[in-house]
Structure 1
Amino acid sequence: MEGSVNEELRRKVGTTTEGADEEVRLKHRIWIETKKMWIVAGPAIFTRFSTAGVPVITLAFIGHIGPTDLAAYALVSTVLLRFANGILLGMASALETLCGQSYGANKYDMLGVYLQRSWLILFLCSVALLPVFIFTTPILIALGQDESIAKVAGTISLWLIPVIFSYVVSYTCQMFLQAQSKNMIIAYLALISLTIHVFLSWLLTVKCEFGLGGGMISTILAFWIPNIGQLVYLFGGWCPDTWKGFSILAFKDLWPIIKLSLSSGVMRCLELWYNTILILLTGNMKNAKVAIDALSICLNINGWEMMIAIGFLAAASVRVSNELGRGSSKAAKFAIMQIVLTSFTIGFLLFLFFLFFRGRLAYIFTESIEVAAAVADLSPLLACSILLNGIQPVLSGVALGAGWQSSVAYVNIACYYLIGIPVGVVLGYILELQVKGVWIGMLFGTLIQTFVLMVITYKTDWEKPVSVAKQRVNKWSVDSSHRPNTDDQNARNSRI
């Protein structure tokens, strides 16, 4: 009898100890994953804020030159530059899949080859975009824009051609370094560039009175200074494992990379252009000026908050691709849960913040009581958009990390353009809910897209993406006697 009692006590104590050990291990895993997440997300968020600040600073200084220059720059930067930016950023996103999975699989030498292939593809794409920037003036006049604004916009477009080519280096190098969790250098360079841009904009436009040309020179330098820094970092030996120099392999097996780049471009462009359509749909509504002003304020706030979401998108892409390349489906799923929970928590807090302050934030941007009242009316929709930003970009990052670009592109077309926009048009125009109706329709499309991505992510047998990643990495791998061994990589990861 006594023996059985003692055995029962030992069993209970053993179970309790095992449970305590499991809890400690879980806390340790959460802590390690949190560090890995913020190593990518933190610099990515800061870089996005700094990069977004460049056109805002340019706009502020050009605004003091004259209203025509201001209108022309606003038109070119919000339409043409965003158009080119969406295409090039989207196509560069293929590197998030390729570099992330190769790095996770310890195929370090392939990262440099992928980078060179992406340079080639994006350069050719930039050349294809040149006619839009060369013939901006006749294009805008044909679209019904004021001739004086169109002429200045044509001049600005020519100045922005070097900026288009800067994206080729900027986006590819960022994703190359980001896949290795080395994006802190990108954040430092973005801060330095932003500081120089403020000084040069003042010096050239205000002090030296060079006008529009001075502002554009400063803008070009602001985009190229980080690129020069990243190239120095790359060629200077700070990436010895992943950059082995230029290779003839960059010109081989291009078609699979082109297809993935095109899929990435379609996927990201469909997302980036969605809000632009929202503004276009409000142009013919009653009291359009107030509606567009209020909507612009809300979308401006939403855009700045989106920088945080994009940071978590980058973290999700890197962590998922690294773990899939390493062959660990469980670690990939754990990373997804951790990033989604963190991003959603931040989104929920901001959701409450914008619900509470409502229209009071509008007075930061306007003195019009009418516009502020319209912003207050739209604030619940803004808050809901911010709440969805806590989930949707992370799931897009998961898709990029797993290489699901083609599938998600179809999801985006269906949810955004076959559901969201038509519902918005019906609510806004037919049921006469105006801007609110259009925005509700757009939110509805985003909500469905988020739900579909959640179902896809949840239902996925993650051993299959691991297998696909392994096949992709092995198919395009490069034999190298200089490749670091797995023990070195494990030691590096443990330090992270």
Structure 2
Amino acid sequence: MESRVDDKLLPSEKGDGEELKGRIWSESKKLWRVAGPAILTRISLFGMFVVTQAFIGHIGETELAAYALVQTIIMRFSNGILLGMGSALETFCGQAFGAKQYHMMGIYMQRSWIVILSTAVLILPLFIFATPILKLLGQDEEIADAAGKISLWFISMNFYFVFNFTMQMFLQAQLKNSIIAWLAGISFALHILLSWIFVDKLNLGVSGAMGSMVLSTWLTIIGEFVYVFGGWCPETWRGFSKSAFSELWPVLKLSISSGVMICLELWYNSVLILVAGYMKNATIAISAFSICLNITSWELMISLGFLSAASVRVANELGSGDAKAAKFAIKVVSSTSLSIGVVFFVLFLALGSVISYAFSSSVEVAKAVSSLSVYLSFSVLLNSVQPVLTGVALGAGWQSIVAYVNIGCYYVIGIPIGILLGYLTSLEVKGLWIGMMCGIAAQTFVLICITGRTNWTLQVEEASARLNRWLLPDSTESYDNRSHA
């Protein structure tokens, strides 16, 4: 009689399976502890831009196109630089927390404030002279004039990002970012209420919509300052220190690398919006492209939450010296983000023909958005993987490498393909979107190759060397040692 292996697992195999499930469950809890609040925070913050666009879109097509230009070109340009430079703090604080160098985290944040606040001041002329800049770039004069008025409202948002980005990264590195999620959720709800009152009831128009956003966002900053300075971070915030003015060059160097890496990614979409402004029906093209971009970007906030989780988990494990745990964290966060991306891929396929009416009453805009629904859905799927890989790069400190990857994939591949398809064929806006997808797909492929071939043991050694080189003595511990002598 022929022997047959029983279908049931052997005891040792059962044990291995249970152990793997336990590791996945443990890592998932750590993942969601960072990703959950980060997702809610980012959805709420970006939701304010989307809500503002929705209210302005129902005021008029010119106002909608003007807001789209300012948000996706000037604000995204500034946002890319500030977020990118602030992302260096994710590397510093994440690895310092893993290495239990808690007192250094507050010093790292203060150094980032100095660097990023100075950068925000240098960017101000872009907002002040928005109208002549947009006209110089060849944009429609009526839209450019309206955009100049809207851009002045964004100045306060420029400085809001300086403190919001840095404090969010500081808190999430030590697994305390739930307070930011609560503040962001409250601010988002307040923004909807104030927008309804200012725009629909008081008829304040664009000024009412923008004023509501400014008031709501700065409420979040006030709450963050109270939390950090009020004693809820006793180990990581020891007050202002003169040490923040020392070792600024390493911070500036990594901040510039981070800034280039992130801003090249965010500007990518801005360049395509700018190109859309040169098409025959610029108002419809800009409006449709920006609506689709905002829809995908809002969903992207979920993936950016996983970016934060990947960055924190990789940085923490590298800082603590555990290469295997860093690799396992990457696998878990990538699988989780991709699974959620598949769900939204199906959802946007189903709702693509009606979703635009939330942002505009124009039938022409709705038709243009509907024609992009399939491309929009595939973009969502790509966006569920690519940000996680960027988060891994932030956690490991690969900002310079990814900056070169972004230049090649976005500006050598994506934009040229988009321009060729958009202007030399009948695809127009569809061609621009296909080009954008090609760039994202190329970047995703390259980052997968880089991550898969990385020697993580070597990354642990490099993280340890970096932290020890910039380590300052803990004044509290020094005082305790003297008192017990």
**What TM-score do the two structures reach when normalised by structure 2?**
0.88
Deviates more, 1:251-260 or 1:365-374: 365-374
Q: Secondary structure at the match of 2:238?
A: coil
Equivalent of 1:389, from 376, 383, 386?
A: 383
Determine the structure 1 residue equivalent to 2:160. Answer: 166
2:99 aligned partner, one-letter code: A
Determine the structure 2 residue equivalent to 1:477. Answer: 471
Q: Secondary structure at the match of 1:451?
A: helix
CA distance in structure 2 between the partners assigned to 1:67 and 1:293 by the alignment: 8
Contact 1:108 1:483 in 2 (8 A): no
CA distance in structure 2 between the partners assigned to 1:153 and 1:193 by the alignment: 25
Gaps of 5+ in 2: 1-5, 479-485
Equivalent of 2:401, from 401, 407, 410?
A: 407
Contact 1:107 1:483 in 2 (8 A): no
Determine the structure 1 residue equivalent to 2:483. Answer: none
Determine the structure 2 residue equivalent to 1:21. Answer: 15
Matches of residues 186-205 of structure 1 in structure 2 within 5 Å? 186-204=180-198
User: Are residues 1:76 and 2:70 paired?
Assistant: yes
Give the C-alpha shift of residue 279 in structure 1.
2.6
Equivalent of 1:264, from 253, 258, 261?
A: 258
Q: Secondary structure at the match of 2:100?
A: coil
Determine the structure 1 residue equivalent to 2:429. Answer: 435
CA distance in structure 1 between the partners assigned to 2:122 and 2:365 by the alignment: 41
Contact 1:109 1:483 in 2 (8 A): no
Determine the structure 2 residue equivalent to 1:5. Answer: none
Contact 1:196 1:222 in 2 (8 A): yes
Q: Secondary structure at the match of 1:348?
A: helix
Equivalent of 1:247, from 229, 237, 241?
A: 241
Give the C-alpha shift of residue 348 in structure 1.
1.8
Gaps of 5+ in 1: 1-11, 485-496
User: Are residues 1:42 and 2:36 paired?
Assistant: yes
1:400 aligned partner, one-letter code: L
Give the C-alpha shift of residue 42 in structure 1.
1.1
Determine the structure 2 residue equivalent to 1:179. Answer: 173
Give the C-alpha shift of residue 196 in structure 1.
2.7
Give the C-alpha shift of residue 457 in structure 1.
0.4
Over aligned residues, Cα RMSD in angstroms? 2.8
Give the C-alpha shift of residue 134 in structure 1.
2.5
Contact 2:87 2:169 in 1 (8 A): yes
1:169 aligned partner, one-letter code: F
Once the two structures are superposed, residues 47-66 of structure 1 have per-residue CA deviations (whole angstroms, 9 ceiling, x without a partner) of 11111122333445556777
CA distance in structure 1 between the partners assigned to 2:200 and 2:361 by the alignment: 26
Deviates more, 1:102-111 or 1:296-305: 296-305
Determine the structure 2 residue equivalent to 1:422. Answer: 416
Contact 1:241 1:483 in 2 (8 A): no
1:191 aligned partner, one-letter code: G
- The 3 A distance-change label for structure 1 pair 223 and 457 is same
CA distance in structure 2 between the partners assigned to 1:72 and 1:173 by the alignment: 31
Matches of residues 319-338 of structure 1 in structure 2 within 5 Å? 319-338=313-332
CA distance in structure 2 between the partners assigned to 1:457 and 1:179 by the alignment: 22
Determine the structure 1 residue equivalent to 2:310. Answer: 316
User: Are residues 1:352 and 2:352 paired?
Assistant: no
CA distance in structure 2 between the partners assigned to 1:363 and 1:68 by the alignment: 16
Determine the structure 2 residue equivalent to 1:7. Answer: none
Once the two structures are superposed, residues 162-191 of structure 1 have per-residue CA deviations (whole angstroms, 9 ceiling, x without a partner) of 221121111100000011111110011112
Give the C-alpha shift of residue 469 in structure 1.
0.7
Contact 2:55 2:359 in 1 (8 A): no
| Percent of paired sites with the same residue | 58
Once the two structures are superposed, residues 410-443 of structure 1 have per-residue CA deviations (whole angstroms, 9 ceiling, x without a partner) of 0110111111222233333335443333322322
- The 3 A distance-change label for structure 1 pair 443 and 139 is closer
Q: Secondary structure at the match of 1:240?
A: coil
Contact 2:285 2:429 in 1 (8 A): yes
1:181 aligned partner, one-letter code: L
User: Are residues 1:218 and 2:212 paired?
Assistant: yes
Point out the structure with max Rg over C-alpha: 1
Deviates more, 1:69-78 or 1:80-89: 69-78
- The 3 A distance-change label for structure 1 pair 326 and 223 is same
Equivalent of 1:118, from 91, 95, 112?
A: 112
Once the two structures are superposed, residues 22-65 of structure 1 have per-residue CA deviations (whole angstroms, 9 ceiling, x without a partner) of 22221111111111111111111111111112233344555677
Give the C-alpha shift of residue 205 in structure 1.
5.1
Contact 2:73 2:273 in 1 (8 A): no
CA distance in structure 1 between the partners assigned to 2:403 and 2:89 by the alignment: 17
- The 3 A distance-change label for structure 1 pair 451 and 72 is closer
Once the two structures are superposed, residues 298-322 of structure 1 have per-residue CA deviations (whole angstroms, 9 ceiling, x without a partner) of 3232122111111111111111111
User: Are residues 1:95 and 2:89 paired?
Assistant: yes
Once the two structures are superposed, residues 252-293 of structure 1 have per-residue CA deviations (whole angstroms, 9 ceiling, x without a partner) of 111111010011111111111112222333344466665545
CA distance in structure 1 between the partners assigned to 2:288 and 2:77 by the alignment: 23
